[in-house]
Amino acid sequence: MNIANGCVVAFHYTLTDDSGAEIDSSKGGEPLAYLHGHGGIIPGLEKELEGKAAGDAMKVTVQPGEAYGEVSEELVQSVPREAFQGVDQIEVGMQFQAQGAGGQVQLVVVTAVDDEAVTVDANHPLAGKVLHFDVAIDSVREASEEELSHGHVHGPGGHHH
């Protein structure tokens, strides 16, 4: 069976950056499972997997526009230190949850701290990066009606209710 919309795909991968440094991998664990065509993985990788089958292996390079987007300076903000009441020590690299403009919760990372303000960045950590995937497709199967109606995979490598 070839990968197409509505298929459940399980694959092993190693993700590296332009310098070859490993960012993430499924080595030693379960393959990643997703429902093809439902936005479960980045668009650039999903597009490259279309039409492939179990047993196929490939190297895929995904540009930022088809991954986590470009870095948006609008998502970097200076916040008054008073906004962090109850947090005694604030350091670069710390992560906090913040409420976005639309009321959604978003993760922000502290990028600078001084006596009066804390600079936070809400960009995805991989925004602006070219991503290199080494992929081996483990299995491809038809999705169940329940998986299709929920928009995600159930069971091993997927969502558990």
Name the residue ranges covered by the structural domains of the chain. 7-68+127-150, 73-121
Domain 73-121 has CATH 2.40.10.330: yes
**What is the assigned CATH class of domain 7-68+127-150?**
alpha beta
Using CA atoms, how far residue 128 sits from 13, 61, 66, 77, 110, in Å, is 20, 13, 10, 18, 18
159 band by pLDDT with thresholds 50, 70 and 90? low
Q: How far apart are CA 120 and CA 73, in angstroms?
A: 11
Per the listing, tokens 């499924």 go with 26
Asked if the model's pLDDT at residue 119 lies above 80, the reply is yes
- Tell me whether domains 7-68+127-150 and 73-121 share a fold: no
Return the pLDDT at 158: 59
Asked if the model's pLDDT at residue 161 lies above 60, the reply is no
Neighbours of 141 (CB within 10 A): 14
Q: Give the percent of the chain with pLDDT over 90.
A: 81
Q: Indicate yes or no: pTM above 0.85.
A: no
